[in-house]
Copies of this chain bind each other. A is one copy, B any other.
Amino acid sequence: MSDDRRLDVLRAIVEDYVQTQEPVGSRVLVERHALGVSPATIRNDMAALEEAGFIAQPHTSAGRVPTDKGYRMFVDRLSTIKPLSSPERRAIQQFLADAVDLDDVVDRSVRLLSQLTQQVAVVQYPSLRRSALRHLELVPVGDTRLLVVIITDTGRVEQRTLELDAPVAEHVVPELRARLNAAVAGRRLVDLPEPLEQMALAFAAEDRPLVHRVVRVVEDTLAEATEERVVMAGASHLARSGTDFSLTIRPVLEALEEQVVLLRLLTEMAEDTAGVTVRIGHENQHAGLAETSFVATGYGGDGEALARIGSLGPTRMDYAGTIASVRAVARYLSRILAG
């Protein structure tokens, strides 16, 4: 049995179906691809592929459609890398380089990726937990409030307001600011508790409560679940014309509006740090995403990724192109953040 040709047939089916969005039959298959055999032969192969679960027919006497398993095989073994053209690369780089601050970088990235893939793009902000601290700022507000501002080396800024019982002693704030910064600058979250503990000891007993509260806020902010921010763009691509997919658009939009779902989507793909991860159809846990695929990778950080970026579309998507785009944007994004 010519196993090779069967895989060729599978590849051809996936490629045709992705392009035409219509079940593909044996005749058009031999016409459009140089398979060198007759439709009847293809039919036999198709029967075998169906038996093996790679393709299915929507109804008797219709062409074949790839199953999730078929797409899986396609991305794992059949699809070839599709490098971006060099003008494309330059355009990406330029567009991202014009960003003015982190919000802008993230915003531009997500729009760019959505534009490139013609799908929904998702970008996670650099994790606070895994970033290093660049600066801590304390700003007294009125008498009894203290604004704590945290700036990371990726440019991310978080702020929390602290309500105090008593007015702050004048001299404490500058000293605390100085010592805090000395203690945290350049360190990552995991390395923080001890230096902060040490630092607190340097203060007079009467100032300790304040110091501890500030330390507490900093630690909480960095550890909080809310630290994980995600942005999305390109939802309109879900309503691409000429697709029954629009029937399923509601649950998909709903899923995408739940930060929790998005985060799980991104973080569940965390194992494979260097490469690109692909989740196809039902491989996604969320029910609303059963007819979508998600392509993601990490960015920032050397070795361990700072955060993730991905693209979501119908299972019948251009995997090669999407993978290439996701990878490219992630690469330039990393470069910007490191620069």
Could you list which residues of chain A lie within 8 angstroms of chain B, going by C-beta atoms? Answer: 100-104, 134-135, 137, 139, 141, 147, 149, 151, 155, 157-161, 226, 229, 233-236, 238-241, 246, 249-250, 253-254, 256-257
- Specify which of B101, B135, B254 is in contact with A158 (CB 8 Å cutoff): B101
A239 and B235 in contact, given A100-B160, A137-B149 (Cβ under 8 angstroms) = no
Q: In whole angstroms, what is the CA distance A229 to B234 when docked?
A: 17
Q: In whole angstroms, what is the CA distance A101 to B150 when docked?
A: 12
Task: Chain B residues near A100: list those with CB within 8 A.
Answer: 160, 226
Q: Establish whether residues A250 and B226, one from each chain, have CB atoms under 8 Å apart when the complex forms.
A: no
Q: Establish whether residues B134 and A137, one from each chain, have CB atoms under 8 Å apart when the complex forms.
A: no
Task: Chain B residues near A234: list those with CB within 8 A.
Answer: 257
What 4 additional pairs, Cβ within 8 angstroms, besides A155-B159, A235-B235, A238-B253? A135-B139, A137-B139, A235-B253, A235-B257
- Specify which of B160, B229, B239, B257 is in contact with A250 (CB 8 Å cutoff): B239
A101 and B241 in contact, given A147-B135, A235-B235, A257-B236 (Cβ under 8 angstroms) = no
- Specify which of B159, B249, B257 is in contact with A157 (CB 8 Å cutoff): B159
Closest to A231 in B: B231
Q: In whole angstroms, what is the CA distance A78 to B102 when docked?
A: 48
Q: In whole angstroms, what is the CA distance A246 to B248 when docked?
A: 11
- Specify which of B151, B239, B246 is in contact with A149 (CB 8 Å cutoff): B151
Q: Establish whether residues B149 and A139, one from each chain, have CB atoms under 8 Å apart when the complex forms.
A: no
Q: In whole angstroms, what is the CA distance A134 to B102 when docked?
A: 21
- Specify which of B101, B149, B161, B253 is in contact with A161 (CB 8 Å cutoff): B101
Closest to A158 in B: B101
Q: In whole angstroms, what is the CA distance A256 to B239 when docked?
A: 14
Task: Chain B residues near A256: list those with CB within 8 A.
Answer: 236
Interface centre among A100, A137, A229, A256 (most CB of B within 10 A): A100
Q: In whole angstroms, what is the CA distance A235 to B257 when docked?
A: 8
Closest chain B CB from A145 CB (angstroms): 10
Q: In whole angstroms, what is the CA distance A202 to B267 when docked?
A: 52
Q: In whole angstroms, what is the CA distance A281 to B118 when docked?
A: 28
Q: In whole angstroms, what is the CA distance A127 to B233 when docked?
A: 23
- Specify which of B101, B141, B233, B236 is in contact with A160 (CB 8 Å cutoff): B101
- Specify which of B155, B158, B239 is in contact with A253 (CB 8 Å cutoff): B239
